[in-house]
Each structure stands twice: as C-alpha cells, then as structure tokens.
A = this chain, B = another copy of it.
Amino acid sequence: MATTFVSDRNLNFLLHEVFDLASLAEHPLYREHGRRSFDMIIDATLKLAKEICLPTLREMDEQPPVLTEGRVEVHAAVRRFMRECGDGGWIAAGFPHALDGEQLPQMLTCTCRYIFAAANYSLSVYPFLTAGAARLIANFGGAMLRKTYLPPMLSGRWQGTMALTEPQAGSSLADIVTEAVPMDAAATKAGSPYRIRGKKIFISAGDHDGVDNVVHLLLAKIAGAPAGVKGISLFVVPKLRPQSDGTLIPNDVAVSQIYHKLGYRGCPITELEFGQRDDCHGTLVGAPHRGLFYMFQMMNEARIEVGAGAAAIAQAAYGAALNYARLRPQGRALGAKDPDQPPLPIIQHADVKRMLLFQKAFVEGSLALILQCARYMDLEAISTGVEMEKYALLLDLLTPVAKTYPSEMGILSTSQAIQCFGGYGYCEDFPVAQYYRDVRIHPIHEGTTGIQGLDLLGRKLVRHNGRALGYLLAEIQATIASARNTAGLTAHADALATSLDQLDAVLAHLTVVAQSDGPDAYLADATVFLEFFGIITIAWQWLLQAVPAAAAEGTARTASDRRFYAGKRHACDFFFKYELPKATALATTLLHPARPTLETHARHF
C-alpha cells in the first residue's frame, strides 16, 4: 500500500521503468552508485520525511515564524531538519565529490526534494534553497568563497538565500537599485569586497534561528554600472561576517518585516535592509555586471523545483482525498436508490472518480515531466558536443513548462481534493485546506506565469534558430511511434499527433503575426500559448508512461502490479479524454483574429 503523502510505487515506476535511472550509473560520473544505493537513498528520504517533515506540517502552519527584536524565530523542526539534511548528505547530494558532495544524478536529488516537499513544503525549502545558493558559489565563486561558505552551507549550519526582488523591482529586475561600492577602488574583480546598501523583499528564509548564519546571494548594481539588466552584479552577503580567525560579527543586515501569507507559512518570507549603518560587506561573485547571467544559470533548476513543489503538494492533497474517498460512505448507485441499503464509499461514484483521476493525471503527469527535465540535466552532464547542446536546449525549452503547468494546475488539483472532502475540506481540521493555501505561491515565485510565457514564446522557442523545438518534436514523435505499436494506445498516438499539427499551425500563425504586427501582438497571448504547450507536453509524458505500463500490465506477476498498471492506463485514458481536448480550444483562441487584450485600454475597465 502506498504511503499517503507520496506514492513510492509510482516513483519506482517513473525512475526505473520509464526513465531507466540505473543506466546512468554506467557512466563514470555516477559509477559509485547503482540501483541498490538509489533505492536505499529513497528509503532513507521517505524515513526522514515521515519522521520530521510530516509530523510538523500542521504545527508549522499554525505557528508561523515570528519576528522578535530583529530576529526571526522558526519552529524547532527547522534546525533539526537542516542538520539531518546536512549530516545525511541531502544538501550536498548533487555536488561533486571534490566538494564533499554525493555526486548523485539530478533525477535522484529531484526525487528526494519531491518527497520532502510532499511531506512538508515549507520545511523542504530551507535545505534546498541553501543547496541552490551554494551551487552558485560552487560554480562562479572563487576558492576563498568556496572555502569559507560551502562547508557550513552544505552541512546545514548556514542558510542560503536568493535576494533578487526589491519593492520597485519584482518581475522587472532591470529596475533594482541596491548599490555596491567597492571598498578599495582598485579592487573591483571577483572576490573583491564591496559595501552594500539597499532593501530586498520577499526573501524566503531570509533570516531565522534554525541556523547559525544566513548567506544571501544578492543582486546589486555597482556604482556607475550600465542601466538595466546589463548592470547587475552578484554578491555573497552574509548576515554575520566571518573574520579571518573564524569568528562571526554582525554584517549590518536587518530584518525589517516578515510577511503574513496565505500559505507556505512554515517558512519566513522577509524584508531585509542591507547597510543601514553603512557597514554591510559583500563579496563580488565572478565578473562585474554578469550577475543576472550567473543567476539564470541556476534558474532552470530553481524553476523546476517550484514545479516539483507544486506537484508534490498536490500529490499529498490527492493522497488525503483518496484515503477519505475510500472511507466516507455517502449516497447510493444511481440505479439503486433503495434507502434501506447502506450507502457506498464515495470513491464508487463516477464524479468522485473523475475528481480523483483528475488529480492522479495531473500529479503523475507533472512528476513525469519534472523527472524528464532532471534526466535531461543528467544526460547533459555526461554528454559532449552536439548531444550536450541537445539536452541543454531541451531542458531550457521545457523549464517554463515544468515550472508553470504544475503550479497553475496545482491550484485546480488541490481544489478538487477539497471538493472530495465536501464541507470537511473547507475546514482547517483536515490537511487539504492547507495544501490549497500552500500551493498558491507557485505561480508567483521564481518568475510569474506571465514571465514564463514570455520566456517560452519570446526566447526559448526562437533562440538558436528554433533548434530546441526541433529536438523536442523529435522526442515526442519517437514516443508517438512506439505508442502506435502498442495495443490500446493507437488512438492516443493519433490524438497527440493531431495536437502537434495544431502546434505547428499556431506557430506558423504567430510567425506571421510577429512579422506583420511586431512583438506586442506576437507575445500578447504568450501565457495562453504556454498553457497550450503545457497540455501537449503532459500528454506526451502520459503516452511515455503508458507504453511501458501497457507492456507490463499483461506480464505483471502480482495482482498489485496489475492494478497499478491498469491505473496508469485509466489515468492516461482520462488525460486524453478530459484534458487534451483543452489544447484544441486554446489553439482556437490563439488563432482567433480578435485582440481584446491589446485593444482594451485602462479606461475601459
């Protein structure tokens, strides 16, 4: 029987039967690992998630962080979890052996994060935000930065953050005004010290008492830098400044407020003041004015993590709804209304099955896409030349989809979980209301849905002469071809091929629009295009799962396995009947000649 908050059977299926994780261990980079160690890591992750994350999910929501005398107090589980993730190697899981990391494939580290996020999203953010910040230092910081910061961060003693947003600069990072002034006018290269002054807002885990220090990877402008995004530099700015003797002294970073949020309450989102007393030191990472470039090097990973977090929360909500639906008796079969008969468990009603299948199709389809992206990261890491470029471009192209589809659909999926509970779902005594609140952050942070749409249509599809799309279409066509040879999947293969034709027609139309009417018209419906593209992508991921599931269903040795594969078949059928047709509607919208979003002016509202 699957655990409630995550399905380990499904993780196994995806990692091994769909994406062949073990084959990666054949490559020298991962030669220390194998199926057995992968399974042990997942078991240990599930164990830790059950021990620390799950039991504190509700408490951390009910007792959110408090700002007291400039210090943010968080739940005691944070310190414990950070240390466990440090000592147990989860923070360093994806780092190379040379940095004392585990050098594990991204497919596996991604799975670990997913498990923790499904158990307690807020808690999972602390270590993995630290890992993301540490990766920036590892990739672009010099030896001194690495030596000073990586050991305490990777061991979970120091928190890492990303400090980008400012009050006047959210989606538009070009407008940040945080200043960096060189402390020595002659030293303005990588590793040089700068004096930092500015305000950052919405900084996740920006300060808390679950760690001994906080390290901000902060974007700022060096005095005299070019305007806009070309003048942004990246700095390491600690809360406490390490001295040469190893002691820590205050670095003039103050928490001016923490936000009271709809959900995601276990993690403090802070407003930070840097250099109010003109004594905030930062260290330049890499070259001046290259900050946004460095930040975006790790943005793929951060955005895919957001998508994974949304899918994970929805997975937990689905698990809760499923348990409830199995146990709750209510109503009778439509053809058998005899009130003297006992009521049925609601899971037997078609409409409840529809709501559960919707969640299953969304959660498992999204997780497949997340792992597909992680697989491309892994393949990129072990490839060279054209192959490497192919995987890099595939990852680039799919990132806005892997970020947005789970985030937007997570709202609907957790909403359906509430609906399965009826009135109880609206009560905070059951976990689904919290999941519904928690998941709503995801279309906002790490780039809103609107920004992702512009990224996909305005950048990822057009760069490199559109080669990324060519690679993706080849991948999808390969899946269609194998589905055509699989009994029961021919109609789905044809339906997906039709969707690709629609995609082709939409892109041809948009190309004409771009040429005749310019970028505003071309990009006006970028968000709608992203939704359209997302549905097609997930349909592909369902077909990709359905092929091995169909092969395995006939030969499965246990009744439990046969049921699992039948479940995959039904969920795939569900997606192609209920979800894929929505792509056709979106194509109609994208091809429609009216342009109300361009023609409406502010005064018309």
Contact = CB atoms under 8 A, between A and B. Distances in A.
Interface of A: 165, 168-172, 174-175, 201-202, 227-229, 259-264, 322, 326, 329-335, 337-340, 343, 345, 347-354, 356-357, 360, 411, 415, 418-419, 422-423, 425-429, 433, 436-437, 440-441, 443-445, 448-450, 453-454, 458, 518-520, 523-528, 563, 566-567, 570-571, 573-574, 576-578, 581-582, 584-586, 588-589, 592, 594, 596-600, 602-605
A597 B353 contact: yes
B440 A604 contact: no
A351 B453 contact: yes
Contacts of A525: 350, 354
Contacts of A360: 605
A343 B436 CA distance: 34
Q: Return the 6 tightest CB-CB contacts between A and B, nearest first.
A: A228-B339, A567-B604, A585-B585, A581-B588, A581-B585, A350-B524
A426 B450 contact: no
Given A175-B343, A343-B172, A448-B419, A357 B596 contact: yes
Given A260-B429, A584-B588, 20 more contacts: A168-B329, A171-B331, A172-B331, A172-B332, A259-B426, A259-B429, A334-B523, A335-B519, A350-B523, A351-B527, A351-B597, A354-B528, A418-B444, A425-B444, A563-B604, A573-B594, A576-B594, A581-B585, A581-B586, A581-B592
Contact of A330 (B170, B332, B428, B574): B170
A261 B202 contact: no
Given A577-B592, A585-B584, A594-B576, A449 B419 contact: yes
Q: Which of A332, A334, A598 gathers most chain B CB within 10 Å?
A: A334
A274 B526 CA distance: 57
Contacts of A260: 427-429
Contact of A570 (B411, B422, B596): B596
B261 A428 contact: yes
